[in-house]
C-alpha cells in the first residue's frame, strides 16, 4: 500500500511539473495568448463591460479555452463584419490567421499557463468600465425597462440634456457608457445648439404602429401616434405628424458630432490624429436611445465621458453626413463634398455618406 501511494504521488508530481513547464516552443498563455487578448479582446472581456467573462488573467480565461477556439475559427469573435476586400480600417480588431492558429494551438494543447515572467505589461484599463479616463462625465436620465412591455418592444427615444459649457470647449474623445449593457441596443449622442423651446431631461418618442407580433406595419398603412395613457394613441399635427421630434431643429440646429455606443464599441477617440471637436459654449447634448427588454426589470443610467484639450489642437474634427449640411459662419467656411471651403456661402448639401475629417487649425482659419 505504501509503495502504491508513493508511485501515485510521483506520477501526479511528474504530471504537475509537465503542466507547469511546457515544452520549448509550446504556445502558452503568458507568452503567446495574453498579448492577443490585450490587443483584440479585453476591450469587451473585462469587468464592467459587455462580455460575460473576463480575459484579464489566466484563471478567468482558462475555462473558456475551447469556446474561444470555436469562436475564432468561425470568426465569430472578435466581432468584425467589414469585408477586407473593400478597404482597411484603422480600428479593425479582427484576428490575423497566425493569431487564430495560436489560440487554436493553445486550446488543443490543454491551455498551458507558461511562465508569468513572459507576460507583457498588463493593459491599464480605467475603472468603472471606461475605456479611457474621462476628464468630464455628463449624465443622462435614468430609464427603467420593464421585463415584458407591450409587444416586447420599446421604441427609440430622444432626450436633450445641457452640457453646462460656459466657454468653447475642445473635446478630444467621446465615450458613451450605459450602466445596463444587457438591455442597451444603442445610444448615440451629438452636440447641438441650445434652442429656447428645448425640453430638457424628458424622454420623447413617437409610437410606431405595430401588428400583434410587434412588427411595424407597412408605411402605406401607418398612422403615427403619440403615446397616451389609455394605449390608443393620439393623432399628431404639424411636423410631429411626420415623425419629427419637437426637440429637432432646422438647418441651424448644427450637429457637432455623432458618437454611438453599440455592444463592443463605445469610444470615439480623436487624439491619435491630434484632432479635437469644438463644442461651443451653451450647446446641449442630444441623445438617441434604444433599449431592448430581456425578461428582467432593469434601470439604465447612461453617461458620456469626455476628454478635453487645454489648448486648440493641431486638427479640427468635422463630421458630415447624409442630411442637410452645416456651415460654420463664425469660422468663415462651409462644408461641400467633405472639403472645407472659405467662401462662407452658408449651408450646402452634405455628401451621401457620413464621415469625419480632421482639418488643420492655423491662426485665422482652417487649412
Q: Which CATH architecture describes the domain 129-205+245-309?
A: Sandwich (2.60)
| Vertex 343 angle, CA 337 and 346, to 5° | 70
Predicted confidence pLDDT, tens digits, the chain (367 residues):
444 444 444 444 433 334 444 555 799 999 999 999 998 898 889 887 778 899 999 999 999 999 999 999 999 999 888 887 887 777 788 899 999 999 999 999 999 999 999 999 988 887 777 889 999 999 999 999 988 888 788 888 889 999 999 999 999 999 999 999 889 999 999 999 998 888 899 888 766 777 777 777 776 666 656 555 455 566 666 555 555 555 544 333 455 678 899 887 778 999 988 999 999 999 999 999 999 998 899 999 999 999 999 888 888 887 654 333 333 322 333 333 333 333 333 333 333 334 444 444 433 333 3
pLDDT at 353: 35
Sign of CA dihedral 136, 49, 290, 324: positive
* Portions of the chain given CATH number 2.60.120: 129-205+245-309
Is the pTM for the entire model greater than 0.75? no
pLDDT at 79: 85
pLDDT at 329: 27
Pairing of strands 315-320, 275-279: parallel
SS (H, E, C) 87-118: CCCCCCCCCCHHHHHHHHHHHHCCCCCCCHHH
Rounded Cα distance between 44 and 54, Å, is: 8
Rounded Cα distance between 300 and 287, Å, is: 14
Amino acid at each position: 500500500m505504501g509503495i502504491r501511494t508513493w508511485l501515485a504521488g510521483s506520477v501526479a508530481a511528474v504530471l504537475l511539473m509537465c503542466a507547469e513547464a511546457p515544452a520549448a516552443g509550446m504556445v502558452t498563455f503568458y507568452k503567446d495568448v495574453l498579448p492577443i487578448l490585450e490587443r483584440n479582446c479585453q476591450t469587451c472581456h473585462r469587468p464592467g463591460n459587455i462580455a460575460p467573462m473576463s480575459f484579464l488573467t489566466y484563471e478567468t480565461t482558462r475555462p473558456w479555452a475551447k469556446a474561444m477556439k470555436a469562436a475564432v475559427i468561425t470568426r465569430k469573435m472578435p466581432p468584425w463584419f467589414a469585408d477586407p476586400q473593400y478597404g482597411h480600417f484603422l480600428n479593425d480588431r479582427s484576428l490575423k490567421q497566425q493569431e487564430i492558429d495560436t489560440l487554436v494551438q493553445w486550446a488543443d494543447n490543454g491551455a498551458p499557463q507558461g511562465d508569468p515572467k513572459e507576460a507583457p505589461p498588463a493593459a491599464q484599463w480605467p475603472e468603472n468600465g471606461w475605456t479611457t479616463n474621462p476628464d468630464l462625465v455628463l449624465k443622462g436620465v435614468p430609464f427603467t425597462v420593464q421585463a415584458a412591455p407591450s409587444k416586447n418592444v420599446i421604441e427609440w427615444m430622444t432626450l436633450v440634456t445641457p452640457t453646462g459649457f460656459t466657454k468653447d470647449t475642445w473635446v478630444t474623445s467621446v465615450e458613451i457608457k450605459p450602466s445596463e449593457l444587457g438591455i442597451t441596443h444603442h445610444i448615440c449622442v451629438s452636440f447641438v445648439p441650445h434652442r429656447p423651446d428645448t425640453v430638457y431631461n424628458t424622454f420623447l418618442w413617437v409610437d410606431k404602429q405595430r401588428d400583434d407580433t410587434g412588427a411595424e406595419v407597412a408605411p402605406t398603412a401607418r398612422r403615427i401616434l403619440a403615446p397616451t395613457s389609455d394605449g390608443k394613441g393620439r393623432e399628431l399635427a404639424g411636423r410631429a405628424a411626420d415623425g419629427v421630434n419637437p426637440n429637432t431643429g432646422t438647418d441651424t440646429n448644427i450637429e457637432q458630432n455623432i458618437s454611438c455606443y453599440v455592444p463592443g464599441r463605445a469610444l470615439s477617440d480623436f487624439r491619435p490624429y491630434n484632432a479635437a471637436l469644438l463644442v461651443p459654449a451653451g450647446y446641449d447634448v442630444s441623445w438617441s436611445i434604444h433599449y431592448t427588454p430581456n425578461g428582467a426589470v432593469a434601470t439604465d443610467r447612461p453617461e458620456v465621458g469626455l476628454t478635453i484639450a487645454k489648448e486648440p489642437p493641431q486638427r479640427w474634427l468635422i463630421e458630415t453626413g447624409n442630411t442637410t449640411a452645416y456651415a460654420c459662419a463664425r469660422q468663415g467656411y462651409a462644408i461641400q463634398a467633405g472639403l472645407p471651403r472659405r467662401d462662407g456661402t452658408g449651408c450646402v448639401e452634405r455628401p451621401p455618406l457620413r464621415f469625419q475629417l480632421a482639418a488643420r487649425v492655423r491662426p485665422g482659419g482652417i487649412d
